[in-house]
Amino acid sequence: MKKEEKSISRRSFLISVMFLIIITSSFNISGMSNILSDSNSFDDYISSLTYPFPSTLNDLNDSTEFETFADTVIMQQLAAYNIVGASISAVKDGKSFFNKGYGYANKDSFQVVTPNSTLFRIGSISKTFTAISVLQLVEDGLLDLDEDINTYLTAFKITETFPEPITLRNLLTHTAGFEEFRVTIISDTFNDVPEVEDLLKDYIPARVYAPGQISAYSNYGLGLAAYIVEEISGKAIETYINDEIATPLGLNYTSFQQPLPSNLDLIMSKGYDDDGNQGYFENVLLPGAGACSSSAGDMARLMLALLNNGTYDGGRILNNETVALMQENHFQPHPSLPGVGLGLYEFDVNDVQIIGHGGDTIFFHSRMALFPEHDFGFFITYNSQKGGIATHEFFNNFIYYYFPKPTITAHTAIIENLKDFNGQYLISRRLYNKYYTATPHIWFEYNLKVTTNSSHLMIPDIPYPFVQISPDFFVAISDFAYDFYIAFIKNEDGEVTHFYSNFFPSIVSYEKMNPIYAFHPMQLVFAIVISIVFVIIVAAWGIDGFFRFRRKEKRRSRSERFYKWWVFGTTVFGVIPFLYFALKSQIIIFLAAGTREALGWLIAFPYISTFQIIGLVVISGINWIEFSSKSKGTPHREKTITEDIKIEKAFESKRRKERPLLENIQFTVLAVFGIFIIVFFSIWRMYGF
């Protein structure tokens, strides 16, 4: 096992870090550096790849081998990540296959983890229980997956922002179109916390997308689904799940109660932070989104029911057809990418059908993965903060060990229009409205920059080139354990709006941001400086004109007045929307395809200003020509001019030379800066395309 352990450890660390988008020096990119600088070597690189992965499956039917594998990975993780305890269960062919606990449930009292009875917080895997509850009521004819949810709500209604109503199918697939819930749903206390109904009623997230259009993981959505179960069944969600799911399946160590009943609280694992300090029992304010506590043994029973048409040990929670409905795709952003079921979602790895759910609280991290084609499933959970890395790592180790990618498929690359995909992409699970947060740019932690050259696409921290093998669909050319895919989505105008991938679940997408965010912050400083120069010069002309009027001096020439009014118009139609866009981009986040909506009627200003700036450049050139001809003067003067007239003429000639020179320089600066404004209009998509 020494060689196997070394390979598993190296590859699992790489992919785990990639999944979490953590920048690390562990990535070995030495073989890729030439690819980025020399596209001619790309084909040579592909042909030179080696395939270090096992060509045959290890035996998934051998529980002893699985135990050796699990022991190897988990024991290394406990030491490497300072994890106090873990628990795992696996099922195969309709029966329990493997259960084991590791480390401590309470290290202070040396209470060890017992897989069948030690409870862990399973976080968002609770959503699977909520989905089952909804589907049970659908079976009873009390709910309809495609009915407007407002039909079931009495204390409040969801605003009808779009013509299409939100349905339960949308809630269970995270496609309701909600922005992120602005309330932290985990509390360290049970005192003075709001009621679920008040949370759902008073903090309804804004609807930012039409239902079914885009996925954005939503705790609010599943919390609302659980509330509808309560409304229709007349039972609290904790009671309903206990009566209709836990009891039929014999889940004696599973509860949505917060705090736990005393008999279960005694065997509940403690949670630990990165330093191994004991945390608190996390009170999830929307129970349907993540309140469940369960043991690995109980989760094995749930997995067996889901793999066996809704029944286990004589207990039934769903009909055969409903289980199939639950596991099929109800939202799939691209035919070649994983889809989203009802309370479950797909993991697309090496052409293996995998469905399940992850679950994360502050201190606990879990994953449930089902392999229907192999009648197999596993559940793993950790009681420490770095379990978030460990869950991804265990999953990827498992795939590498049991379902390796044997070869790299040859693809014909499409290289047209690759630059369309360049840009910054921001996670769709976020706040969109400025009045919810003073700094929406906190979400920039969840952004990715896509860059392309003449042959392929690259994403930071993934040291492999992505080639386009069909329109808008890319696959990584790598010697890694499994393939990475990216599918870009375009709107009706052919503009790239966002992407999905198989290395992020399809319950969330990444949206393309306006190019204003793709460059160095100094561009905003430069834009503001340009605007200030325009405003100061126009203001100075206005003040000068006011005092000339007060002194009753001679009016400027018609051409001079025309030019200055022209500059004033350029300032109004160019600088105002320019400043508006630059400054507002620090308050809200513009999307690449949303400039027209962001600017509104101001979208006309850049077009008017562009015409004026072009005129500015032309007129500035004409002024220099005129100034040059005037500055040459007249070589012959009348001999009869008196000395006083000569002095006056000389003074006026000097004034004519000096003042126009200063003003011509001003005009030229404004013309040059105007060209920069046009450039920024184009870069920032302020023309609406």
Amino acid letter for position 48: S
Residues 6+ apart with CB under 8 A from 147: 167, 168
Mean pLDDT value across residues 86-114: 97
Mean pLDDT value across residues 418-438: 81
pLDDT at 657 over 50: no
Mean pLDDT value across residues 487-507: 90
DSSP H stretches of helix in 178-295: 196-202, 219-233, 237-241, 247-249, 262-265, 287-290
- The pTM for the full model equals 0.82
Mean pLDDT value across residues 426-448: 76
pLDDT tens digit sequence for 226-251: 999 999 999 999 999 999 999 999 99
Residue 205: CA atoms inside 13 Å, Cβ hemisphere, count?
Answer: 26
Residue 413's alpha-carbon distances to 75, 223, 459, 493, in angstroms, are: 43, 44, 17, 24
At residue 412 the predicted structure's pLDDT band, cuts being 50, 70 and 90, is confident
CA distance 340 to 347: 9
Q: Are 168 and 143 in contact (CB under 8 A)?
A: yes
Which residues is 370 bridged to in the sheet?
355, 377
Report the pLDDT value the prediction gives residue 60, as an integer from 0 to 100: 92
Mean pLDDT value across residues 415-443: 80
Give the SS3 label for residue 81.
coil
Report the pLDDT value the prediction gives residue 562, as an integer from 0 to 100: 81
pLDDT at 136 over 90: yes
At residue 301 the predicted structure's pLDDT band, cuts being 50, 70 and 90, is very high
Give the SS3 label for residue 286.
coil
pLDDT at 631 over 80: no
Residues 6+ apart with CB under 8 A from 350: 399, 403, 404, 405, 481, 482, 483
CA distance 254 to 240: 13
| Omega prior to 248 cis, within 30 of 0 | no
Mean pLDDT value across residues 419-425: 91
pLDDT at 642 over 60: no
Q: Could you tell me the domains of the chain?
A: 63-402 (3.40.710.10), 418-517 (2.40.128), 522-683 (no CATH)
Mean pLDDT value across residues 321-325: 97
Report the pLDDT value the prediction gives residue 52, as an integer from 0 to 100: 38
DSSP 165: P
Q: What's the gap between Cα 615 and its chain centre?
A: 43
pLDDT tens digit sequence for 161-203: 999 999 999 999 999 999 999 899 999 999 989 999 999 999 9
pLDDT at 590 over 80: yes
CA distance 141 to 497: 39
Picking from 167-181, 329-343, 347-361, 532-546, which range would have the lowest pLDDT averaged per residue? 532-546
Report the pLDDT value the prediction gives residue 436, as an integer from 0 to 100: 52
Q: Where are the beta strands (DSSP E) in 361-409?
A: 365-371, 376-382
Mean pLDDT value across residues 75-94: 97
Give the residue with greater pLDDT, 642 vs 666. Answer: 666
Mean pLDDT value across residues 652-660: 51
Give the residue with greater pLDDT, 615 vs 198. Answer: 198
Mean pLDDT value across residues 89-112: 97
CA distance 398 to 587: 44
Report the pLDDT value the prediction gives residue 526, as an integer from 0 to 100: 83
pLDDT at 36 over 70: no
Give the residue with greater pLDDT, 552 vs 225. Answer: 225
Residue 47: CA atoms inside 13 Å, Cβ hemisphere, count?
Answer: 5
pLDDT at 2 over 60: no
